[in-house]
Amino acid sequence: MNLLSPAPVFTPVATCGTIHGVGLGPGAPDLLSVRADRLVRGARHVAYFRKAGRPGQARRIAEGMLRADVVEIAMEYPVTTEIPLTDPRYNEQLSSFYAECTERMAALAHSGEDVVVLCEGDPFFYGSFMHLHSRLSGVVPVNVVPGITGMAGAWNATGVPITWGDDVLTVAMATLPEDELVRRIRDTDALVVMKIGRNLPKLRRAVAAAGREDVAWLVEHAAMPGQRVTPLTKAESVTPYFSILLIHGQGRRP
């Protein structure tokens, strides 16, 4: 060994940050898990989706929880309901949007920064974060923190169990064609319908055609300020975005 040889130089390996998709639950801040609460309060970078010109529901849930020096990253949808889902431009614009968001998240992670992405409900249940997760997985570390779903908040708001015994629960979107809604409403024991909004008249017709109008409930803003539970027969013709229709199962019980 040459004692005069210079000591080897070790270059430290940059640590890659993690993208955390954090489920915030149905709306009340005290329904976050302990893990979600810890990540949200400690995050230096916090990202969230929102409609342009709106504060965003996820951000509203986290109000008062973020540290003073937080860097907020608002990811604003280029389109929501302005273009029909069947229009090719809808997927094209959203695909480009999610690609841009992914690039921004990946750049932060590669610079060593962690990012908490605020997700309403559960990140893996009809949430926008899924589109980031599928693009980021294998590129940077991604962690998902489960959350209470909005539908769980809704059926708890009614004070009645959603399923009993062997009941089959169906979750459907009000954006489905009317005849498909009728079939699924008729063929299930318990039902949850989401994404109602301007689709309420169509949904109301489908529930009536399935012969279940008298047992259907509409829950608006579950677990949020202004929560309201109304029989479908008495519901107004237009509902807020955060509205869920429920039909409770009546299955086997002791």
* Residue 11 forms part of a structural domain: no
* Residue 3 forms part of a structural domain: no
Vertex 242 angle, CA 81 and 223, to 5°: 160
Task: Clarify whether residues 163 and 100 are in a common domain.
Answer: no
Torsion, Cα of 11, 139, 71, 221 (10° steps):
-160
| Residue 239, pLDDT score | 74
Task: Clarify whether residues 142 and 188 are in a common domain.
Answer: no
| Residue 10, pLDDT score | 44
End residue of a domain, out of 106, 123, 148: 148
Residues of the chain falling short of pLDDT 70: 1-14, 81-85, 238
End residue of a domain, out of 118, 148, 178: 148
CATH of the domain at 163: 3.30.950.10
| Residue 7, pLDDT score | 47
* Residue 164 forms part of a structural domain: yes
Question: What is d(CA 190, CA 15) in angstroms, rounded to the nearest whole number?
Answer: 48
pLDDT tens string 184-202: 999 999 999 999 988 999 9
Question: What is d(CA 140, CA 19) in angstroms, rounded to the nearest whole number?
Answer: 8
| Residue 33, pLDDT score | 98
* Residue 5 forms part of a structural domain: no
Question: What is d(CA 172, CA 254) in angstroms, rounded to the nearest whole number?
Answer: 29
| Residue 12, pLDDT score | 44
Task: Clarify whether residues 134 and 24 are in a common domain.
Answer: yes
- Per the structure, the complete domain to which residue 50 belongs is given by 19-148
CATH of the domain at 82: 3.40.1010.10
> What is the number of other CB atoms lying within 10 angstroms of the CB of residue 164?
15
- The end-to-end CA distance of the chain, in Å, is 82
* Residue 142 forms part of a structural domain: yes
Question: What is d(CA 32, CA 225) in angstroms, rounded to the nearest whole number?
Answer: 16
Task: Clarify whether residues 73 and 125 are in a common domain.
Answer: yes
Q: How many domains does the chain have?
A: 2
Task: Clarify whether residues 32 and 71 are in a common domain.
Answer: yes
